[in-house]
């Protein structure tokens, strides 16, 4: 792992860069990014060692593609076109079906591993990169059998060194379930933020009334629209399904309140308290 | 502040007990609770010094009523019936209109202060009590002019010693705005939890896919139904209004996705990112 390329030097790519440099101090970490300011910042923060061009990818041992999913789907084939037979390339996007379909017949398909690390914060850019971000986090790998054995092994060794738990799924199941446990949470937070901002826009001091509960529930509404819009677009069918079920549950809750059936309201909340046991399993 | 009574020795009442004991080591903290196990636990944890009966309230300098809002509205008049002219009594409930109306004509109205500390966690019971919970938190006081000057002063001194920021509001405005910045967040979290549990109940391992974003957004779904059902009941009209606006925003988001108008989706999220600036003001 001597020559590592990070395409997209933001929170996710930058955090991989920091961890890899710590594990392999002898490696050189190259950054490629459309955003010149991010590249400069990444160098200044020592997130990457050097900047590079697309042509340099032919020297890569490892390429991590950490850009929004709409860009990733177009850039991945071009990366595969450039890399040598010994390079492992993985993306980190929150949708897996379209990108796997895109490179299904690419001559270098076996150099690619479809990866989704369940890690991050609501911040973005190189300054959001964190050493140790991936420790104890889940990493979902799709279509592992489509990747060359030796390159699977190389990537899995890295994930193991980073302290990640591996889960294997097919891309279709990944996109369906991640819509529930991740994408829907983002929409729920964004719309909660919008509802309160719209109502209270002329009464800024009302936010003095907000406590840590509101802050926690609305936290994801700080997330980057540039990252999330393409995710919702690529996972449109699944996300709309989750939204419909969520809206239906909210309407049912409203109906119970309108009917003064507060015993049912109580029971609904009590049965959902079971989330405690589930969350205890999340690190 | 020698003789302090805490009615309801849970998270909120217990946290006041711990702070008051630290500020006034000479005081005796008495606990009153319907739940015998909680009383025993509160003694064992040194949250309170002694248990007491309702009749003992005549000796009180301070009474804190920290029980669910449906119980509080019935218990407050009985507390006021018992206390001496020099006692200050405050409740801590998340609704203020009904309780203020209830004691409006009580002969001891001037012994009561309507209080809502914006503090807490999703846990409950005496073991959830935290020293310093109220430091740097907002405390909303309603109808302050209805409380006797000397007793206002006594309570305000305590809140100041605890490090709280005071905000004065009328009960109607309190209940309307708190529906947005607190009550709605709880329903949004409960229904998010329900949507995911319903979908994934046969696939427990799917929760391995959930990360800290889901955990944050759904955290309030761990909250106590016994505390929250009466709040939704007392604040029904305001809460239903917030729910309708929230559901309408979610439907609009779904419509933009169905129409493939992802530019509008982007803009919607970008304008809500403004929540960052607002949250920076919340401690």
Q: How confident is the model at residue B283 (pLDDT cuts 50, 70, 90)?
A: very low
Q: How many CB pairs under 8 A join A and B?
A: 305
Kindly state the average pLDDT of the residues B246-256: 98
Give the helix/strand (H/E) hosting A113.
strand A112-117
Q: For residues A115 and A164, state if they share a domain.
A: yes
Among chain A residues, the shortest Cα distance to B200 is held by A177
Q: For residues B133 and B236, state if they share a domain.
A: no
CA A131, CA A140: separation in Å to the nearest integer?
A: 20
Q: For residues B22 and B156, state if they share a domain.
A: yes
CATH number of B214's domain: 1.10.3660.10
pLDDT at A200: 79
Q: Which residue shows structure tokens 């309507």? A: B114
Q: For residues A45 and A122, state if they share a domain.
A: yes
Kindly state the average pLDDT of the residues A165-194: 95
Cα A222-A187-B203 angle, rounded to 5 deg: 120
CB A143 within 8 A of CB A114: yes
Domain boundary among B114, B134, B169: B169
pLDDT at A1: 81
Kindly state the average pLDDT of the residues B194-220: 84
**Structural domains in chain B (count):** 2
Q: For residues A153 and A59, state if they share a domain.
A: yes
CA B173, CA A204: separation in Å to the nearest integer?
A: 14
Contacts of B277 in chain A (CB under 8 A): none
Q: How confident is the model at residue B200 (pLDDT cuts 50, 70, 90)?
A: confident
Percent of chain B with pLDDT over 90: 88
Q: For residues A202 and A239, state if they share a domain.
A: yes
Taking each continuous run of H as one helix and of E as one strand, the counts in chain B are: 12, 8
Nearest CB neighbour to B233, from listed A250, A262, A281: A262
CA A7, CA A10: separation in Å to the nearest integer?
A: 9
Q: For residues B107 and B184, state if they share a domain.
A: no
Evaluate if residue B250 carries a pLDDT over 80: yes
B121 CB-contact burial (10 Å; exposed 0-12 / middle 13-18 / buried 19+)? middle
Q: For residues A209 and A242, state if they share a domain.
A: yes
pLDDT at B202: 67
Kindly state the average pLDDT of the residues A49-53: 98
Q: Which are the contacts of A73, defined by CB distance < 8 A and separation ≥ 6?
A: A98, A99, A102, A234
CB A114 within 8 A of CB A77: no
Structure-block tokens of residue A75: 């850039």
In angstroms, what separates the C-alpha of B82 from chain A's closest C-alpha? 32
| CB atoms closer than 10 angstroms to residue B127 | 15
Q: Which are the contacts of A167, defined by CB distance < 8 A and separation ≥ 6?
A: A138, A139, A140, A141, B205, B208, B209
Cβ separation A220–B223 shorter than 8 A: no
Closest CA to B215 of A189, A30, A142, A109: A189
Among chain B residues, the shortest Cα distance to A118 is held by B211
- Give the Å distances, CA to CA, from A275 to A249, B196, B197: 16, 9, 8
ipTM: 0.92
Cβ separation B222–A184 shorter than 8 A: no
Q: For residues B252 and B226, state if they share a domain.
A: yes
Question: Which pLDDT tens digit goes with each residue over B27-42?
Answer: 999 999 999 999 999 9
Name the phi and psi angles at B26, rounded to 5.
Answer: -80, -10
Domain boundary among A154, A169, A184: A169
CB A103 within 8 A of CB A109: yes
Q: Cα A145 to the chain's mean position, in Å?
A: 22
pLDDT at A283: 44
Nearest CB neighbour to A254, from listed B226, B230, B240: B240
Query: Across chain A, what does the average pLDDT equal?
Result: 95
Contacts of B222 in chain A (CB under 8 A): 273, 275-276, 279
Evaluate if residue A31 carries a pLDDT over 50: yes
Q: What is the DSSP letter of B60?
A: -
Closest CA to A115 of A144, A72, A145: A144
pLDDT at A102: 98
Cβ separation A191–B246 shorter than 8 A: yes
Q: For residues A62 and A125, state if they share a domain.
A: yes
Q: Which domain holds residue A231?
A: 174-280
Domain boundary among A152, A169, A186: A169
N-to-C CA span, chain A: 29
Lowest-pLDDT range, A105-109, B83-87, B185-189, B194-198?
B194-198
Letter string b/e over residues B168-199, b meaning 16 or more CB atoms within 10 A of that residue's CB: ebebebbbbbbbbbbbbbbbbbbbbbbbbbeb
Kindly state the average pLDDT of the residues A12-29: 98
Among chain A residues, the shortest Cα distance to B227 is held by A266
Nearest CB neighbour to B217, from listed A138, A220, A271: A220
CA B158, CA B70: separation in Å to the nearest integer?
A: 26
Query: Across chain B, what does the average pLDDT equal?
Result: 95
Evaluate if residue A89 carries a pLDDT over 50: yes
Name which residue leads in pLDDT, A204 or B175.
Answer: B175
Q: For residues B117 and B143, state if they share a domain.
A: yes
Question: Which pLDDT tens digit goes with each residue over B118-132?
Answer: 998 888 999 999 999
In angstroms, what separates the C-alpha of A31 from chain B's closest C-alpha? 27
Cβ separation A211–B249 shorter than 8 A: no
CATH number of B10's domain: 3.40.50.720
pLDDT at A98: 98
Strands B50-51 and B62-65: unpaired
Lowest-pLDDT range, A202-211, B175-184, B195-204, B218-227?
A202-211
Kindly state the average pLDDT of the residues B71-99: 98
Evaluate if residue B278 carries a pLDDT over 70: yes
Q: For residues B197 and B137, state if they share a domain.
A: no
């Amino acid at each position: 792992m001597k020559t590592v390329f990070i395409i997209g030097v933001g929170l996710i790519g930058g955090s991989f860069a920091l961890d890899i440099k710590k594990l392999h101090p002898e490696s050189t970490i190259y950054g490629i990014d459309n955003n010149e300011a991010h590249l400069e910042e990444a160098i200044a923060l020592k997130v990457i060692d050097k900047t590079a061009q697309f042509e340099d990818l032919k020297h890569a041992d490892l390429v991590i593609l950490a850009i929004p999913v709409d860009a990733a789907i177009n850039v991945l084939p071009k990366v595969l076109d450039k890399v040598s037979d010994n390079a492992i390339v993985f993306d980190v996007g929150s949708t897996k079906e379209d990108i796997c379909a895109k490179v299904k017949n690419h001559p270098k398909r076996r150099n690619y591993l479809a990866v989704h690390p369940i890690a991050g914060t609501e911040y973005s850019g190189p300054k959001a990169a964190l050493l140790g971000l991936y420790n104890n986090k889940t990493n979902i790998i799709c279509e592992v059998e489509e990747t060359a054995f030796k390159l699977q092994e190389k990537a899995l060794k890295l994930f193991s060194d980073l302290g990640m738990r591996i889960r294997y799924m097919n891309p279709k199941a990944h996109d369906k379930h991640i819509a529930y446990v991740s994408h829907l949470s983002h929409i729920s937070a964004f719309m909660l933020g919008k509802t309160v901002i719209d109502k209270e826009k002329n009464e800024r001091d009302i936010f003095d009334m907000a406590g840590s509960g509101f802050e926690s529930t609305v936290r994801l509404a700080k997330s980057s629209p540039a990252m999330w819009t393409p995710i919702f677009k690529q996972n449109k069918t699944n996300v709309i399904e989750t939204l419909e079920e969520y809206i239906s549950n909210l309407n049912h809750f409203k109906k119970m309140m309108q009917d003064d059936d507060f015993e049912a309201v109580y029971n609904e909340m009590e049965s959902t308290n079971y989330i405690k046991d589930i969350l205890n399993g999340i690190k």
